[in-house]
Amino acid sequence: MLLFVYGSLKEGFPNFHANRGRRLPGRYRTAVPYPFYLAGGTLPCLLPQPGRGLHVVGQVFEVDDRQLAVMDALERVGEPGGYARARIEVLPIDDSGAPLAPAQPAFVYMQEDARLDAGRAHFGPIAEYTLEHARSLNW
C-alpha cells in the first residue's frame, strides 16, 4: 500500500526515523487541493476538505501493515488531538508541478478542522512543508 507524507515523516525530516517504507522516486502532489496549515505556526496539518486550499506536495512510500502501525502510533491515530488516516489520490509531478502520470490512491494523515480553532495561531495555507518549517519546531 502507498502512504503520502507531506510533513515530518518525509525523508530528511525530523520524524523520518519512524518511516520504514520504501520511497518511490520523485515528487508527488495531491490530485485535488487541500487546506494545509502549520497549526500553532509550526505543526503540519492537512485538513479533510478536498477542493479547498492548494495542491500539497510531498513524498510517497510503499509500506506494509507493520510499518504503517509504527507511523500510526507516532501520529497518535485514534487518540484525542491525534491525526486520522484517510485515503486520497496523489500523482507524480515534474519540477514545475505538472502531472507525469494518472492519480493513484494513497493513505495520508489528516487533522480535524478544530486543530485550527480561532484561539490558536496558524500559518497557511501552504503547498509544501520545508526544512525551514521543520527547524522552527526545535526538534
Q: Show which residues are catalytic.
A: 75
Q: How does 49-82 read in b/e, with b if 16+ C-beta sit within 10 Å? A: eeeebbbbbbbbbebeeebbeebbebbeeeeeeb
DSSP 58: E
Residue whose cell numbers read 510499518: 67
Q: Do β-strands 57-62 and 104-110 pair in parallel, antiparallel, or remain unpaired?
A: unpaired
Q: Do 42 and 48 meet the contact criterion of CB atoms below 8 Å apart?
A: no
End-to-end CA, the chain:
29
